[in-house]
Structures are given as C-alpha cells and as structure tokens.
Amino acid sequence: MLVLGIESSCDETGVALYENGVGLIAHVLFSQVATHAAYGGVVPELASRDHIQKLLPLIGQLLTQSQRTLAEIQGIAYTRGPGLSGALLVGAAFAQSLAFARKLPCVGIHHMEGHLLSPLLEQNQPEFPFLALIVSGGHTLLVKVQALGDYEVLGESLDDAAGEAFDKTAKLMGLAYPGGPLLAKLAEQGDAMRYALPRPLLHRADLMFSFSGLKTAVAQLIDKEDLRCVKVQADIAASFQAAVIDVLVAKTLKAVKQTGLQQVVVSGGVSANVWLRTQLQAGLTQLGAKAFYPRLEFCTDNGAMIAFAGCLRLAAGQVSEFDFSVKPRWSLNELRL
C-alpha cells in the first residue's frame, strides 16, 4: 500500500510517500523558520497561512521526484494533533478531502507517535517493546512502547519542554532564532564545570522533568557575568546544556532500570544534540542497553514519519472517515490501535 503522509502541526510543511514492503519512497519538506525569525517565535496565524500555500506545490514536487502519480496513492495519513490548531486544520482538511475525492482510506496520526516510530524507518531498527525518549520544542516524554498504538507515558515535563528551554535560554543570551542549535554549538567550546546550575527533579524517584527553573538560573547568571566575553558565553552555554542533558540521561537510565527494556528510541529536535548522544551512549552501555535514532533530518518534524505511522495504522485496518477535526492537545496515553 502506497501512503501519502502530510505533516503541518507547527512550522514545517512535510509530505512523504511510504509503501509497505518497499519503504520510504520520497519526502519533501518546507521549513518556515525564516518567516518566524523576525518575530522571535512561531506566529500561529502566519504558520497556517504558509501551510495552505505550500501544501499542494510540495505534493506536486513529491510526485515528480518519486515519478509516481496521484492515481497510485492508496491511502492518506495526516497529523491530527497535538500542535497549533490552525496549522493542523490545513493538513487535516486537505487530506480528508483528497481522500474523500479519491475514495481512499484516511487516518489522522498523533504527531508524537510519528516521532517515536521514526527510528523504524532506518536499517538499524528496534523491535517492540522499547522505551522512547522524545525531546522536541514542544515535548519532553519518556514513553513505554509496547506495540503499535500501545503507549504508556512514564514521564513528561511539568513546564517547559527541553527544546523550549534551549530556545528560551538562547534568546536570553541574545542568540538568533531559533537558538537551540546555536546554543549547542556554542557549548562545544565551553567549560561545563564553570557554573553550577541546578538539575531539576534529578533526585526525585519519578520520571518527571522540569526545565523552567533552569532558565531562571541562567537569567541570574547573565545578570552577573559579562556576556560580551565569548568564553563566558560558551561556558554558560556548556553549563546549561550539561544540566539539561544530565537530567534527560539520568531519567532515561532510571526508566531503563524500572522497565527492564533494553532498547531506547531517541527522537525529536533535541535528539540531534551531540552531548546528549555521547552521554546517553555511555550510560546505556553500562546497563547493556542500546539507543536507536532516526536519521538527522527526521529528528525534527517531517512528513515521512506520518506516512510511515499512517501506513502501519491503515494496514491494520484503521480509518477515520470524513471527520477532519483536529486535536491540538492530545495525550499519547489515549491512543489505541
């Protein structure tokens, strides 16, 4: 079955074709980063306006690139939530209408399910059951993945998401938008031991996260230190990054011990972080466990993961007919197959 996947939950329009038994056929992405940069954050109305302009041209590109035709598509999947409601609605309305017109099965996908299944698009892939750490701009989740559609959220952030903490701290330091990757780059040259920053909730027995206090601690640091000095900047970045990563790694290892699961899928924008990868690797090796990542371009939002998750669900017989209402807030725990 050849499935078209559509992602439009935030500031990326992504489309892809996935065929079971064959694999990923093609994918195309348009990022709106430049549109929102001038505003210092994603402007929901502008994001929606951009999605409706880009979606069909991107699908045209996708078909040309893959040398497939509309008539060959046998199923359609789109992101139903969570995300920005106006942005989600563009993809949902289009996808369900296209499916209606072509009399195809159609399914709305949970964006986070897309992320947590994305390592299954790679050669080196985990088998169910596994543990997933999803760290993105909007989410910090530790999830027990029993099977397709059977998820248990073991831990999540009580306030800011990990990526959000990176972005907000970068903004405090005067870095350009979106600052997370820039901050991580800066941290590479810094001394992570120079400033002692808190490790929120590190010693709590549960698997919850909290990152907003860390941002406040950095703000106080910035007031005291001279940010014009490049060394200071790099050291603050490194100290901040170490604090976030320490907590992410510690809680993930705790989850491995608690669940006995030996495979850990890591996905979402922050999973591109090099320090996270090295620290996690070291910790997991000691426990005899192993990490699985999607390829770098699929760490952030993309249509491929939606086409893939959609293909699995459609192959399992799931369809959602005619209804293109979206779920801006939607817990993974609610999912079933």
Partner 1 sequence: MQLLAIETSSDACSVALYQQGALLVHEAIMPKQHSQQLLPMIDALLAEGQTSLTACDAIAFGRGPGSFTGVRMAAGVAQGLAFGVNRPVIPISTLAAIAWQARVTDLQTYLLATLDARMHELYWAVYRLAANGLEEIQAESLTSYQDLRHFLKQAPFESPVICGPGWAAYAPKEEVCWQLAAPVLPSARSIAELAALNWHQRIDPADALPRYVRDKVAVMATIK
Nearer to ligand ATP, 14 or 75 (CB): 14
180-187 vs 162-172: helix crossing angle, rounded to 10: 80
Residue linked to tokens 């040309």: 64
Question: Which H or E element spans position 25?
Answer: strand 23-31
Nearer to partner 1, 97 or 212 (CB): 97
Nearer to ligand ATP, 263 or 300 (CB): 300
Which of 180, 190, 200, 303 is in the footprint of ligand ATP by CB under 6 A? 180
The secondary structure of residue 176, as a DSSP letter, is: P
φ, ψ of residue 217 to 5 degrees: the values are -60, -40
**Residue 151: CB partners within 8 Å, gap ≥ 6?**
113, 116, 143, 144, 145, 332, 333, 335
- Per-residue mark of binding to ligand ATP, 255-294 (x: CB under 6 A): -------------xxx-xx---------------------
| Residue 278 interface partner, choices ligand ATP, partner 1, none, CB cut-off 5-8 Å depending on type | none
Q: How far is CA 177 from CA 144, 223, 257, in A?
A: 33, 21, 37
Give the whole-angstrom CA distance, residue 187 versus residue 171.
Answer: 15
Nearer to partner 1, 45 or 152 (CB): 45
Nearer to ligand ATP, 66 or 273 (CB): 273
Could you tell me how many residues of this chain bind partner 1 (CB under 8 A)? 37
Contact 332, 123 (CB under 8 A): no
The answer to whether residue 150 forms part of the interface with partner 1 (CB under 8 A) is no
CA 180 to chain centre: 14
The answer to whether residue 300 forms part of the interface with ligand ATP (CB under 6 A) is yes
Q: Smallest gap, in angstroms, from Cβ of residue 26 to ligand ATP?
A: 20
Q: Smallest gap, in angstroms, from Cβ of residue 72 to partner 1?
A: 14
Q: Residues in the site for partner 1, rule: CB under 8 A? A: 38-41, 43, 45-46, 48-49, 52-53, 55-57, 59-60, 70, 85-86, 89-90, 92-102, 322-326
